[in-house]
Amino acid sequence: MTQIERFLLDDQPPPISHYCHVVKAGNRIWLSGTVGMRPDGSAPDDVVDQFRIAMSNLDGALAAAGGRPAHIVKVTVFLTDINDRVLINPIRQEYFGEHRPASTLIEVSALVTPQLKVEIEAEAVID
């Protein structure tokens, strides 16, 4: 039977609902949706600043489970304004470099709290 590990990370915003930041089973990693919120619950107004924080949170959760950016095989990005894609895309390109995971981008009417503008979730496979 595959061992399942669940990680709740102290340097991440606490879960708002009943979930953990990351789950690892065998060589697969699932990263819960991360947002541009600091551990203290504050969030900047700017979508770019929020996305930088969200990517840092995602990277921290990935590392906690033993993964690296090149292990990510799928990302889903949720934006409250689809036009913000051009603003956040350079950050994605910088983070992934030559690695190109499968990706889905979805515009949503709102995220978990009103000040949030972007959320990203991912799946990874460790070699």
Going by C-beta distance under 8 Å and a sequence separation of 6 or more, which residues neighbour residue 88? Answer: 47, 48, 51, 77, 79, 118
The larger pLDDT score, comparing residue 45 to residue 127, is at 45
Helix-strand-coil split of the chain, %, nearest 5 = 30, 30, 40
pLDDT (mean) for 11-25:
92
User: Taking every pair of C-alpha atoms in the chain, what is the biggest distance, in angstroms?
Assistant: 45
What is the pTM (predicted TM-score) of this model?
0.94
The larger pLDDT score, comparing residue 14 to residue 51, is at 51
pLDDT (mean) for 88-105:
97
Ordered by where they begin, the domains of the chain are: 4-125 (3.30.1330.40)
State pLDDT tens for residues 57-81: 999 999 999 999 999 999 999 999 9
